Amino acid sequence: MKPRARWLSLLAAASMSFPLAPASPAFSFDPHQENRLEAKNVIFMVPDGMGLADVTAARIYKNGIDGPPLHFETLEHIGYQRTYSGNSTITDSASAASAWACGEKFNNGEICFHGDGRPNPASILELAKGMGMAAGLVATSTITHATPAAFGAHVANRSCETEIARQYIETTRPDVLLGGGLSKFQPVKADPCGSSGDLIPRAMKAGYTIVHTKAELDAAISDGARKLLGLFAMEGMTPVHLRTPGIAEPRLSEMTATALGLLEKRRNGFFLMVEGSQVDWGNHAKNEQYQVGETLAFDEAVKTVLDWINSSPERRDHTLLIVSPEHETGGFAVNGPADRLLRSGEYVTAGWTTGDHTGTDVLLWSQGPGSSEVGRALDNTDLYRIMRNALESED
């Protein structure tokens, strides 16, 4: 048994919080059906709220109706997943991300935490840290928002963002935390879990270098920072379509590049989650300019990752990359135009069926060791097992 497999076995045996829910027979697969390389690195990228029509609209705007694909469309395997939560046909981001992170169904609002008293599984990030790997979370929402939180915290209520911040700093300790959300680390009042107080001094004591601008981020890397906490806005970061020249906030692609540069220094590999959080918000707002801008910004972050992977055979052979929305938002559709072909720089005629989430299945794109398991019909909980199997697989 390889060292990583031994780590996973010991961790699972040592805590009642690690049991895996059995796979649904409808989605069962043999994790050892093919001879594959071990994934030294796992990069999980989330375009929150993105459906297939969002991809179409963004591709047309960038490249025209007959132009090349977006970067994430070039990945080797394509599949799709069911997204329902433990108590609803329509999932929220908390339960959907928790299904990925912890491998079980959770109720809407729960962050890898079973409110009915069942044991709470360890997340894939916690397993990675237990194996001596580095870990990072990057988002354009607050870094304590539902999606990143599912990988680094366990709380009954997604609104407990200061408690989530506390667990990051004092319990799970990801090496890189980059996004918005300064107000969650320095709240003016307690969150619904009762957590309060200034967490910045605690983060500094725990070894984090604190940065608030792109310039400070660059300087921290130049100075050899080993752990980073970047909080670039009080709440969510500025949407792409509202950014002005000279804005101090880094772009998602820049945060991603920084995270890769720091995490790759760890010889045991890393787990990194990157979320383009505001594709979802653009669809909630029924704002096509917002949605397309965020989809393309997310795709630039994917390009950053692909450039990093393709820079060496070692990275290509040992990095599992998965791109996956939690759910679709808005019931967005491409409704036209019906009388001509669109050129780059033009928006489709857009339509939405709702301002909320929908229950439709969403697509998955992937490449790297273990990725062929993603190229099929899945439940969202299966992605946890795929990532775990990739980390423990034999050469």
Q: Name the residues annotated as catalytic.
A: 93
Q: How many CA atoms lie within 13 A of 190 on its CB side?
A: 4
Exposed, middle or buried by CB within 10 Å (0-12, 13-18, 19+), for 320?
Answer: buried
List Cα–Cα distances, 394 to 77, 81, 182, 376, in angstroms: 21, 26, 42, 22
Residue 230 bridge partners (DSSP): 178, 211
Burial 259-287 (b: 16+ CB within 10 A, else e): bbebbeeeeebbbbbbbbbbbbbbbbbbb
CA gap 147, 217 in Å, rounded: 23
- Contacts (Cβ under 8 Å, ≥6 apart) of 378: 27, 79, 80, 81, 82, 364
CB-based contact 44:138 (threshold 8 Å): no
List Cα–Cα distances, 259 to 152, 171, 362, in angstroms: 16, 20, 27
CB-based contact 230:177 (threshold 8 Å): yes
CA gap 97, 124 in Å, rounded: 11
Which amino acid is residue 42, in one-letter code?
V
- Phi, psi for 310 (deg, rounded to 5): -80, 0
CB-based contact 125:160 (threshold 8 Å): no
